[in-house]
A and B are shown apart, each in its own frame.
Chain A
Amino acid sequence: MSTSSSNEFIVPIQFISIDTDGKIKSSDQKILNLEKGAPIKDAHPFFESVISMFESRATHLKLDCVNMLDCTFDVEVITHKDNSGVIILRDRSDFYKRIQKVAQQRNQSLILNELLELKNDVLKEKEAFKTKFIKNFSEELRSPLTLISAFSSLLLKGDLDLEQTKLVEALKEQSDSIRKLLDDIIELSKLKKGDSKLAEEVFSFKDLLSSIYMNYNAKVSLTNNTFEMNVSKDVPEFLQGDERRIAQVIKNLIENALIFNDGKHIKFEVTENHRRAGKTSLRFQVHHKGTVPKGLGDKYDLEDLEKVNPEGLNFSIVRELVELLDGTLKFNEVDTNHTQQIVNLKVAYPLHEVKLPPKKKSTVEQYKFSEKVKVLIADQNTTTQLTALKVLVSTGNFDTEVYTDPRELLEAVEKREFDLILMSSSISQIDSIELISIIKQFANNSNKKIPIIALTVHTSKESMAAYKAAGFKDVIKKPYTDDELLNTIYKRLKIKKFL
């Protein structure tokens, strides 16, 4: 039936005229063989549909790309008022075959993309869940770590023989490194969640670098290595940006070098690439002997969390941080067994001279009180209870009482006198923010005035504000060291009363 033309420019045409009864009056039979006098609707359902549109009106209708009887036609239907008409068929099978091929490819790839997108959404959801899980889990781990951290530093202050000192030092070192690991994981999960905001504060970059130097010089020399830091003269003394994040990037680079160190020397350099529009482009470079396993520096998705070993965590954090700070990161292998980590960051610097307030010292004053401070500890978690208890008792300045039952606690604040209350974030399922308002109602007049301090792992800006608003004088972040605990307490007590 089809006359496949070798010349695509010649399109076969067939004219069919229809009488007023819908029968075939004449047809030139160029393409379809149609029987004269037969109802056109019997030739194909298409014609049946078309003939029902012959509604005693004069119309001219074009229907492109109609597939029937093994061909693809462009069709024209011309109807007259007397219900007769003409149907014109143009066989454009070859043309539409090519169109079909293109459409086939296009649609298949569109559908594939759609499905990939859907899958991606599911993955993202899963990732968010994992991130949240990891964050909660890590925060749970912080409490027992409080105990280890604080006890170790407490023990080191007492009379220990050399053997014991070494053991405790090891204990402290290990717990500190777990603490760091936890903080890293929490940081990473925050970065992954993408809800981190950048600080925009002016800070002394010089001070930051020198504290980093002191820290790592000590740490590196413990392992019989040397740590060298070079800061080129043109690097600005003050910067304006996220000090903590920038410090984190630098520290992580150095930690990376320490982990995969094969030599005796670690070199850290800071240089300025250029300054433009109030921003300095800084280049941080850490150089060490030893190679970093392939792939560690790669970006990984939480999806592959199982594959990340603790050593890789540092790398992931650096990468996420650098991304957050809109910088670039490169790991180069040089001279076959040296590694060069390079980070470029663009940071704003203050255009005018800056004066920053002097830094506070964080060592604890060695007070000897003449009168003991009566402390009420409200905490269910035996770990943190014990920590606080021991730290306080060790100074000889405190009398402590622990309460785990809210009813007994309320009775105590009603009937007895205290100088200070330390309260963890929840007791017997009662949230400390709720509890503090009840305490304030029950407390006798003297207890109404004493400072109440929260001990908590929830230290986001929002939580801190909520604690303060509820009436807490201060918040101590878990895990805390004994210094942190004591400093906060001394700060919030009216010390003169006890001296």
Chain B
Amino acid sequence: MSSKKIVIVGSFGVGKTSLIRRFVDDTFSEDYKVTIGVHILKKTVQLQDHDINLIIWDTEGTDEIEEIRTSYLLGTHGFIYVSDVTRPKTYEKIDEHKQYLSKNFGNVPIFTVGNKSDLLPKGSISQKKEELDFLDILVSAKEGNNVQRLFEKIAKILIS
């Protein structure tokens, strides 16, 4: 079975750790415990004809992408860039940061994610959702929406 390394990046407090917890253990906590350094978790994703191990590196949140210890990012097969839909600061520099990652760590897929979608005003044609359409996917670690789909999508792309 193949293993793929995925690094989760994004500003602090956006819900990186929560997203992984939801995916790996299907749990969620309202408490905020700041991550320092890196935590490494593993989960197998079952696709139709393949199983794949995702080894997920949960990094400490920084404002500036350059501040992440580069040794964490070596040998990565894909990035998940998480932002918080309620905090514009966490997605303002997304393009710049994507460029930095592609340039320095190989041309691997980068998924941009807006977390905490549960906090958006309800309704299908919400204006806010349109504003956020530059993101690949909106998820909620709290309610679990789209979390499974996100990782399955990534897994599919990584084996193709």
Query: What residues of chain A have their CB less than 8 Å away from a CB belonging to chain B?
Result: 44-46, 48-49, 52-53, 61-68, 72, 96, 99-100, 103-104, 107-108, 110-111, 114-115, 118
A63's partner among B32, B60, B69 (CB-CB below 8 A) is B69
In the complex, which of the residues B32, B36, B57, B72 has the most CB atoms of chain A within 10 Å of its own CB atom? B36
- The contact string, 1 if C-beta is below 8 Å from chain A, for chain B 98-128, is 0000000000000000000000000000000
* Interface magnitude class on chain B: 20 to 34
Interface residues of B in 64-91 (CB under 8 A from A): 69, 71-72, 74-75, 86-89
CA–CA, A72 to B12, complex, Å? Answer: 19
B40/A68 in contact, CB under 8 A: yes
B36/A96 in contact, CB under 8 A: yes
Chain A residue contacts of B86, Cβ below 8 A:
115, 118
B71's partner among A44, A62, A110, A115 (CB-CB below 8 A) is A62
Chain B residue contacts of A68, Cβ below 8 A:
39-40
B34/A52 in contact, CB under 8 A: no
* Closest chain B CB from A375 CB (angstroms): 53
CA–CA, A108 to B61, complex, Å? Answer: 12
Chain A residue contacts of B10, Cβ below 8 A:
none
A52/B5 in contact, CB under 8 A: yes
A114/B40 in contact, CB under 8 A: no
B57/A49 in contact, CB under 8 A: yes
CA–CA, A64 to B115, complex, Å? Answer: 27
Given contacts A44-B40, A67-B39, contact A107 B34 (CB under 8 A): yes
Chain B residue contacts of A115, Cβ below 8 A:
86-87
Query: From B61, which residue of chain A is reached at the shortest CB distance?
Result: A107
* Closest chain B CB from A114 CB (angstroms): 6
A61's partner among B33, B71, B87 (CB-CB below 8 A) is B71
CA–CA, A99 to B34, complex, Å? Answer: 10
A45's partner among B12, B40, B60, B89 (CB-CB below 8 A) is B40
Chain B residue contacts of A104, Cβ below 8 A:
33-34
CA–CA, A100 to B61, complex, Å? Answer: 12
Chain B residue contacts of A114, Cβ below 8 A:
87, 89
B88's partner among A103, A108, A110, A118 (CB-CB below 8 A) is A118
Query: From B14, which residue of chain A is reached at the shortest CB distance?
Result: A111
Query: Is B42 among interface residues, defined by CB-CB distance under 8 A?
Result: yes
Chain B residue contacts of A45, Cβ below 8 A:
40-42, 55
Interface residues of B in 17-73 (CB under 8 A from A): 32-34, 36-42, 53, 55, 57, 60-61, 69, 71-72
CA–CA, A6 to B69, complex, Å? Answer: 29
Given contacts A49-B55, A100-B34, contact A64 B69 (CB under 8 A): yes
B40/A99 in contact, CB under 8 A: no
A67/B38 in contact, CB under 8 A: yes
Query: From A53, which residue of chain B is reached at the shortest CB distance?
Result: B75
B75/A111 in contact, CB under 8 A: no
Query: From B56, which residue of chain A is reached at the shortest CB distance?
Result: A45
Chain A residue contacts of B37, Cβ below 8 A:
64-67, 72, 96
* Closest chain B CB from A94 CB (angstroms): 13
Given contacts A68-B39, A100-B34, contact A48 B12 (CB under 8 A): no
Chain A residue contacts of B42, Cβ below 8 A:
45, 48
CA–CA, A111 to B88, complex, Å? Answer: 12
Question: What would 15 A/B residue contacts be, using CB atoms closer than 8 Å?
Answer: A49-B3, A52-B3, A52-B75, A63-B38, A64-B37, A65-B36, A67-B37, A68-B40, A96-B36, A96-B37, A100-B34, A103-B34, A114-B89, A118-B87, A118-B88
Chain B residue contacts of A63, Cβ below 8 A:
38, 69, 71-72
CA–CA, A389 to B61, complex, Å? Answer: 73
